[in-house]
Amino acid sequence: MIKVINNTKEKINKLLTKKNILIFTIIIALIMLVPIIWASLYTHPSADDFNYGVRTINKIQTEGLLEVLKGSFAQMLYSYKSWQGTYSAIILFSLNPSVFGDNLYFLTTVIIIGMLLFSLYYFLNQIIHKLLKLDKISFYIILIIFFLLSIETIPSKIEGLYWWNGSSYYMLFFALELIEIGLLIKRYFLNKRTKLNFAILNILIFIIGGGNFIVALQQIIILFFLNLILLINKKDKNAITLFIVSLVGLGISAIAPGNAVRAASSISMNPIKAIIYSFIYAMEKIFTWINPLNISIICLLVGLLYPTYQKINYKFKHPLLFILILYGIFSAEFTPTLYSQSSLGAGRLWNIMYISLMLLLCITLYYIIGFIRNSLIEKKVLDKKSENIIAQMVKKNRITIFLLFVIIIAINMVININYLTSYQTYKILRNGEAKQYDKEWKKRMNILYNDKIKDVEFKSLSVYPSPIVYEDFSEDETSWLNTPAAEIYDKNYIKIIK
C-alpha cells in the first residue's frame, strides 16, 4: 500500500513540473477572464464620459481624426481653466472609446486589462527576473497570479474596469507609474543606461505629473528616495532631472485656475492634518483590505521567490526602516483627497491603493524573510548545505505544498465568490441583465441620433447590472449628468421620467 502511494506521489510530482503549473495557471486565467471581457460588450458611456467628450464625441464621423485631436486639446484647455488641472488626464477623458464609435466602448475594459497586464509584466520582469534572477517560468506564474488577484478583488469593479473616466484616470496612470518604476530599475539598478531610456522616462514622468494627484505625488516621493540613494552611493546625478520634471508636472497641474473653482465646491483639510490622517487611514485600509484570500496568495508568490535569496548579495539589514518607508509611500496615496476634499474619495481611488498595497505586502514579506534568513546564517543556524537540504525536501513534497495552497486559495475563493469580478460578471450574463441593459441603451441611442426629436425623455432603465453600469441620466434636465449629452446630440434637453 505504501509502495502504491509513493509511486502515485512520484508520478504526480513528475506531472507537476513548473511548465505544467504555468499552463494550468494560464488556463485558469483565461477561464476567469472570459466573463469579465464578455460583459464589457454590453457597456456604454455615462456621466463624465459625456462631460469630457463634448468636444470630441462624434467628431470623427463628421470631421475626421484631426478634429478629434483638436477637440481633445480644446477640452483640456477648457477644463484646465474651469475645473481641474490634470492636463494629460483630461486628454484621456476626452478620448473614451465611444468617440470612435458607439459600439467600441467595450475597449475600455480591454485597454485597462491590457495596460495593467503589460505594466505588471514590465515592472515585475525588471525586479523578479532580471534583478532577483528568478527563472522565467516561475516569473510568469507569479505575474499571472498577481494580475488575477488585482482584477478579481479590486474594491470597485465598475470604476476600475468598465467606466472609462474613472478607470483611465486611476488604473491607466497607475499602469504608467509601474512602467516608470521598471524603467528606473533598469537604468539605475541594472545599469542599462541609454539616451532613449532617459528620454522616455522624462516624457513618462511629465505625463504622469498631469494625471491623478495620487500617482503624481507618489512618483515624486519615489524619485526623491532614488536620488537620495544615488547621492549616498555617489552615483548618477542625472536622476535629479527626473525629480525636477516630476515637480514641474505636478506644479503645472496644481496651479491650474480650475482647481480653485473645484476647491470652492468642497471642504479642504489642513495639509498637516491631512498628512497625519493619511497614516491613520492607511492603517485602517490595511486591516480592511487584507483577508485570508489575498494573504494566502501573497504567501504563495513570495514562496516562489525564495530561490532568489541564494542568487543575490543583499543584506536586508534594516527591516523596520524599510517597512516604515513603504508604509509612508502607501500612506501618501491618501493625502491628496484628504487635503482637497476632506475624504478618502471614491472607489476608483481605492482600486490603485489596493493593488499597490498588494505589491507592497509582497515586497515587505520578501524583505522580512530575507532578514530572518540572513540572521540565521550569521548565527550559523542556517548554511548553504542545510538550505539545499530544505530545498530538496520542498521539491520532493511539492505536490503536497502545491495542493495545500490550491485548497486554501480555492476555499477562500468559494467563501468570497460574490466579491470576485469574474463571478459578478458571470451572474449578469447568465441572468440576462447585461443583455437587457444593452438592448434598452441602444433604443435610447436611436432616439439620440434622431434629428427630429429635440426634447428627450427616457424611461428609467429596468435593470442596472453591476458591475458594468456606473450612473444613469438624472430626472433633472439641468443636471451635469444630462446637459453634456444634450449638447453632444443636439437636443433641447434630456431627462429621466419615472
pLDDT in the model for residue 410: 85
Q: Indicate the SS3 state at residue 496.
A: strand
pTM: 0.91
- pLDDT-based confidence at 406, cuts 50/70/90? confident
Q: pLDDT digit string (tens) for 274-322?
A: 899 999 999 999 999 999 999 999 998 998 888 888 888 888 888 999 9
In the chain the first and final C-alpha atoms are separated, in Å, by 72
Residue type, 277: Y
Q: Do 72 and 87 meet the contact criterion of CB atoms below 8 Å apart?
A: no
Residue 467: is the preceding peptide bond cis (ω within 30°)?
A: yes
Averaged pLDDT for residues 189-193: 88
Q: Which of the two residues, 192 and 123, has the higher pLDDT score?
A: 123
pLDDT in the model for residue 407: 85
290: which residues sit within 8 A by CB, 6+ positions away?
361
Question: Considering only 130-139, 191-200, 354-363, 384-393, which range has the smallest mean pLDDT?
Answer: 384-393
What is d(CA 261, CA 275) in angstroms, rounded to the nearest whole number?
A: 23
φ and ψ at residue 193, rounded to 5 degrees: -100, 110
In sequence order, the β-bridge partners of residue 95 are none
Cell numbers that stand for 233 in this block: 552611493
Q: Which of the two residues, 425 and 66, has the higher pLDDT score?
A: 425
Question: Considering only 157-166, 230-239, 453-462, which range has the smallest mean pLDDT?
Answer: 230-239
Q: Do 447 and 456 meet the contact criterion of CB atoms below 8 Å apart?
A: yes
Identify which of 111, 116, 75, 352 has the alpha carbon closest to the alpha carbon of residue 212: 352
What is d(CA 356, CA 222) in angstroms, rounded to the nearest whole number?
A: 13
CA 433 to chain centre: 27
- CA-based radius of gyration for the chain: 25
